[in-house]
Amino acid sequence: MQILTNKLEFPSVETANHYGMVAVGGDLSTERLLLAYKSGIFPWYSEQEPIVWYSPDPRMVLFPEKLKVSKSMRQVLKKEVFKITFNEAFEEVIASCKTVDRTAQGETGTWITDKMKEAYVKLHKLGIAKSVEVWKNNKIVGGLYGLEINDIFCGESMFSDVSNASKIAFIHLVKDHNYKLIDCQVYNNHLSSLGAEEISRKKFLEYL
């Protein structure tokens, strides 16, 4: 696994270890982040740790035409209890993703460090990082954010303060845009229930 310097480069993803770790170090500059995502690589680390860059194999993705919306979820969507917006409150969404309690999923802490938050807000101001907001009674109760790379949405994180809010955000992300692919990075049951599946890293890079 390579240790990055100030030089703007990444090693081949084929050098990733069993966990998908490609490199350590570097920075979260706009240029490096864009190079990473266009290379099928993303940062994932915790506070007090060096930046760790990943390119897992297999890769969790959703093909929009394979989106699964359960009967109960269709009923929730029909009721129109929630208001959906895009890119209206990016900073609030990433802040909520940073602080949401994930202990129920067996996770502790957050991988969204202050520096990472700052870097993605900068990408948002450049029109590259996008958000979906789910509102109820004029309050954001769920949402997600990620990067738009050509016609692929690279999802980063989501949160839900009320039941189904993050699923609603994800469904609207898929249905209201013409993305070729939604990158979900690594397997989780939540996204699998919505139709996401694992494909090889090689195949994912071909889509990129």
pLDDT band at 100 (very low <50, low <70, confident <90, very high): confident
Residue 179 has pLDDT above 80, yes or no: yes
Other C-beta atoms closer than 10 Å to the C-beta of 110 total 17
Average of pLDDT values for 172-186?
A: 97
Average of pLDDT values for 76-89?
A: 95
SS (H, E, C) 25-52: ECCCCHHHHHHHHHCCCEECCCCCCCCE
- Look at 45-49, 59-63, 144-148, 157-161 and tell me which has the smallest mean pLDDT: 45-49
Q: What is the DSSP letter of 75?
A: H
CA distance 121 to 202: 30
pLDDT band at 1 (very low <50, low <70, confident <90, very high): confident
Over its C-alpha atoms, the chain yields an Rg (Å, rounded) of 17
Average of pLDDT values for 62-91?
A: 96
pLDDT in tens, 19-54: 999 999 999 999 999 999 999 999 999 888 999 999
The hierarchical CATH code for the domain 2-56 is 3.30.70.3550
Residue 109 has pLDDT above 50, yes or no: no
Residue 101 CA: distances (Å) to CA of 143, 146, 160 = 14, 20, 10
pLDDT band at 80 (very low <50, low <70, confident <90, very high): confident
The tokens for 49 are 């740790």
CA distance 79 to 102: 28
| Domain coordinates in residue numbering, the chain | 2-56, 60-207
Average of pLDDT values for 61-83?
A: 95
CA distance 163 to 175: 20
Residue 105 has pLDDT above 60, yes or no: no
- Structural class in CATH, domain 60-207: alpha beta
